Amino acid sequence: MVLEKLKKKREPVYYFFSGKGGVGKTSIAAATALWFSEQKKKVLIISTDPAHSLGDSYNVPIGGSIKKLRKNLFAVEIDPAKAMEEYKEKFMPKIENIEQFKGLGIEEAFDVAGMTPGIDEVAAFDKFLQYMHSREYDVIIFDTAPTGHALRFLSFPEVLDSWVGRIIKIRLKFSGVVNIIKKVLPFGKEEGKPQLGTEQLENLKTRIEEAREVLSNPEKTNYNIVTIPQQMAIVESERALKTLKEYRIPVKSIVINQIIPPNQKCSFCTIKRNEQLERVETIKKKFAGLEIFEVPLFEKEIGGFTALSKLGKKMYG
């Protein structure tokens, strides 16, 4: 019976949190992860923001390897330097070897490299694919970079699919130069030798398709936009929602953070709160149909497990 539990395969659900810089998305993501772990779900939270603040939120150093923070709660911060090395090894041809391709008509393959997202997004997508197949966690939460970078990350399946598709065509068209390609594009290894087989690339395309299906499945993926009751933040959230719809990413909720609590003794606070409440009503109208979470501005900066647990209970009850 114990062995069966150890071998239990989970079907993870994915939560993405993004928003304009400074809206508190990391605190919201960290509190959500902690709340799920307190509900006896095995949770992994991944920071894909190069300017990591996840460890600061928990008041615990995390780093580039998965770290257990407490029962049911695990975290990792993508290491950009390490990810760059892995990216170069997997996808980037050695610059000095590009000369070998002149005259073969396949230089176009490397033009696509300019289309790929930043290395932090590539690494995050690699992690997404890895954990999507791991079945080790019930909930996987992504604390993403600010909105623009997060949207680039979510477009990565489309970009990579196009890139791999072109490589496959080249692989089939120029089978006579496969040995040269193998030396500069190590997509796989067999008996210690680099290999660029069509089968390996087709497998990668299959994984990309699976990722696309997961990202567009509202039962598997929950995208949450974190905002604050300010006009500029609302406008950016609208743009994000429009782009997410284009990529068929299901948006679950809008989290309105940093709402000033009522304070009749402070006239300034009352004026600012009334202004914010008007913005809250605007958000509710603009994002009708989405779940709305209203999160108060806390007296002290949110940090540490006690404060994050309190925040999670405020949001989810």
**Does residue 83 or residue 268 have the better pLDDT?**
268
Report the candidate in 236, 216, 309, 206 with the shortest Cα–Cα distance to residue 14.
216
Pair of tokens at residue 120: 């932090």
Q: What is the pLDDT of residue 177?
A: 52
Is 32 in a helix, a strand, or coil?
helix
Largest CA distance in the chain: 81
Q: Do 182 and 196 contact (CB within 8 A), yes or no?
A: yes
> How many contiguous H segments (helices) and E segments (strands) does the chain have?
13, 10
Beta partners for 17?
Answer: 143, 224
**pTM for the structure as a whole:** 0.76
Give one word for 293, left, alpha or beta, with left for phi > 0 and alpha for psi -120 to 50. beta
Number of domains in the chain: 1
Could you give the angle at which helices 119-134 and 198-215 cross, rounded to 10 degrees? 80
Where residue 301 sits, what CATH number does that domain have? 3.40.50.300
**Tens digit of each residue's pLDDT (9 = 90 or more) over 60-98:** 999 888 999 999 999 998 776 676 666 556 555 444 454
Measured in degrees and rounded to the nearest 5, phi and psi for residue 292 equal: -110, 125
- pLDDT digit string (tens) for 226-251? 999 999 999 999 998 988 888 788 89
- Enter the tokens of residue 104: 């073969």
Residue with tokens 């600012």: 272
What pLDDT is stored for residue 213 in this prediction?
81
Lowest mean pLDDT among 121-130, 149-158, 242-251: 149-158
Contact 16, 241 (CB under 8 A): no
User: Worst-scoring range by mean pLDDT, 42-56, 118-132, 191-205?
Assistant: 191-205
Residue range 135-156: average pLDDT?
72
- Tell me what the mean pLDDT of segment 274-284 comes to: 97
Is 194:183 a contact under the CB 8 Å cutoff? yes
The region that residue 105 occupies, defined by phi over 0 for left and psi between -120 and 50 for alpha, beta otherwise, is left
Give the separation between CA 128 and CA 291, rounded to whole angstroms: 25
Q: What tens digit of pLDDT does each residue of 12-41 get?
A: 899 989 888 889 999 999 999 999 999 999
What are the helix (H) ranges across 174-215? 178-184, 198-215
Q: Which domain holds residue 63?
A: 2-316
pLDDT of 190 > 70? The answer is no
Q: What is the mean pLDDT of the chain?
A: 77
Pick the most confident of 74-83, 134-143, 145-154, 223-232. Answer: 223-232
Stronger pLDDT, 261 or 207, i.e. the higher one: 261
Q: Above 70 in pLDDT, residue 59?
A: yes
Q: How far apart are the C-alpha atoms of 214 and 133, rounded to whole Å?
A: 11
